Amino acid sequence: MATQKLISVLLLQLLLVLLASDFSNGQKLKVGFYHKTCPNLETIVAKTTQHYISRAPTLAAPLLRLHFHDCFVRGCDGSVLLNSTASNSAEKDAIPNLSLRGFHVIDAAKSAVEKKCPGVVSCADILALVARDAVRMLPGSFWEVPTGRRDGRVSVNSEALRGLPSPFSNITQLKATFASKGLGVKDLVVLSGGHTIGTSHCDSFSSRLYNFTDKGDTDPKLDKNYIARLKKKCKPGDTKTLVEMDPGSFKSFDEDYYTLVAKRRGLFHSDSALLDDPETRAYVIQQATSHGATFLKDFGASMVNMGNIGVLTGNSGEIRKQCALVN
C-alpha cells in the first residue's frame, strides 16, 4: 500500500515536471508577439534598417545570409552573433562565417529597441526582422515575421562547420542538410533563390574553373562561355576578388537567379546541383520561364519555415542585453 502511494506521488511529480517543460518550451512563435510589451518594435527595426540599406543597398545580402547562417546552426537563436571568448571559439569565427557582415546593423537595431523596450526583445528576433526588412527595401519579397524567439547562450565554431550547407554540396547532400532542419525540397530550391543578391569570393567556386576533379579540368556542368568570363576575374589562388552571384542583377531581388541556373550559369556547385533533381529542376524552369510568377511569395513562406528552426521560447534561453555577449 505504501509502495503504491509512493509510486503515485512520483508519477504525479513527473507529470507536473513534464507539463512545466511543455509550457516553457512548447510555446510557438506568432506574428505580433511583442504587441503589448514593445508595440513599436517593427517600426523601430525598420527605421534602423532603412538607415543602413539606403546608404549601402549591398548590405541586404549579408544581412539575409546572417539570418540563414544563424538558423542552420543551433536554430534561430542568435548564436551566430556571439563573440568568441578566451575559452571558446564561437560560430562567427568558423571558416564559413569569416566573410559574414552586417553585425553592426543588428547591434544598432538592438540598441534602438533597448531604449524603448529594455530587456524585452531578443537578438534572434531582431535579426529575423532586419533580414526581412533589408530584402523588402531593395525592393524584394515581404513576409510577416513570427516572433517570440529567445537568445541562446552557446555558440561553437565546430558546429558551424558541420551544420551549414556548403557551396560545394551536391543535391543529395543539400537535401539531407535541409531535411535535418525540418525543411523540404521546395524550401531548398526557394531559399537558394536568395543568391539573386550578393557577391562571393573566388575561392568559393574557383575549383569549378581550374581543378574540378584534381586534373586541371573545369566543371562540365558550368557553361563554357561563363567559365571564360569568370577566369578573367578570378585567377588561380585568388581569395580576395568578389564576384556577383547574379551578374547584372545582383542588387535586385528577382527571379533572374533561376534564369542563370537554367542556362548552367549558377556560380556555385550547389546552384548547379538544383538541375540534378526532378523537383528542384522543375521549380528552376518554372520560375525562369514565368518571370518568377510565384518566387517572391514562395520565398516569404520558406523564410518563415526557416525562421522556425530550433527556436527557443518560453523560459528557455535569455534576452541578451548586448547581442555579442551572453548576459
- The predicted-structure confidence for 69-121, as pLDDT tens digits, reads as follows 999 999 999 999 999 999 999 999 999 999 999 999 999 999 999 999 999 99
- At residue 163's C-alpha, the angle toward residues 152 and 99, to 5°, is 85
Q: Is 238 annotated as a binding residue?
A: no
| Rounded-to-integer distance, Cα 247 and Cα 270, Å | 17
4 has pLDDT over 60: no
Please provide the DSSP assignment of 134-171 as one string: HHHTTT-------B--BB-S---HHHHHHHSPPTT--H
Residue with C-alpha cell 521546395?
A: 186
CB 135 within 8 A of CB 253: yes
Based on its alpha-carbon atoms, the radius of gyration of the chain, rounded to whole angstroms, reads 22
The domains located in the chain, with CATH, are 40-163 (1.10.520.10), 171-305 (1.10.420.10)
326 is in an annotated binding site: no
Q: What is the pLDDT of residue 3?
A: 45
79 is in an annotated binding site: yes
Q: Name the pLDDT band for 13 (thresholds 50, 70, 90).
A: very low
Does pTM surpass 0.85? yes
What distance in Å separates the CA atoms of residue 73 and residue 259, rounded to the nearest whole number? 30
* Residue 91 annotated as part of some ligand binding site: yes
202 close to 239: Cβ distance less than 8 angstroms: yes
- ω into 146 cis (within 30 of 0): no
150 close to 79: Cβ distance less than 8 angstroms? no
276 is in an annotated binding site: no
- CB neighbour burial string for 201-225, b if at least 16 within 10 angstroms, e if fewer: bbebbbbbbbebeeeeebbeebbee
Per the residue annotation, which of 35, 51, 67, 69 is the catalytic one? 69
By residue count, the chain amounts to 327
- 230: pLDDT strictly greater than 80: yes
Q: Residue 249 has what pLDDT?
A: 79
Nearest Cα neighbor of 227 from 248, 209, 245, 204 is 209
User: Percentage of the chain with pLDDT > 70?
Assistant: 92
**Distance of alpha carbon 232 from its chain centroid, rounded?**
31
d(CA 176, CA 30): 28
Work out the average pLDDT over 131-147.
Answer: 95
* pLDDT score, position 27: 67
Question: For a pLDDT cut of 90, what percent of the chain falls above it?
Answer: 87
* Dist. CA 27–CA 33, nearest whole Å: 11
16-25, 57-66, 158-167, 168-177: segment of lowest average pLDDT: 16-25
Would you say residue 15 has pLDDT above 70?
A: no
Residues 189-215 have a mean pLDDT of: 94
Q: Would residue 69 show up in a list of annotated catalytic residues for this protein?
A: yes
Whether pLDDT at 306 is above 50: yes
**CA distance linking residue 237 with residue 127, whole number of Å:** 34
Average pLDDT across the chain, whole number: 91
pLDDT of 18 higher than 70: no
Asked if residue 77 belongs to a known ligand binding site, the reply is: yes
CA separation, residue 36 to residues 40, 41, 113, 125, 149 (Å):
9, 10, 14, 16, 16
pLDDT reported for residue 1: 46
Q: Which regions of the chain does DSSP assign to beta strands (E)?
A: 199-201, 242-244
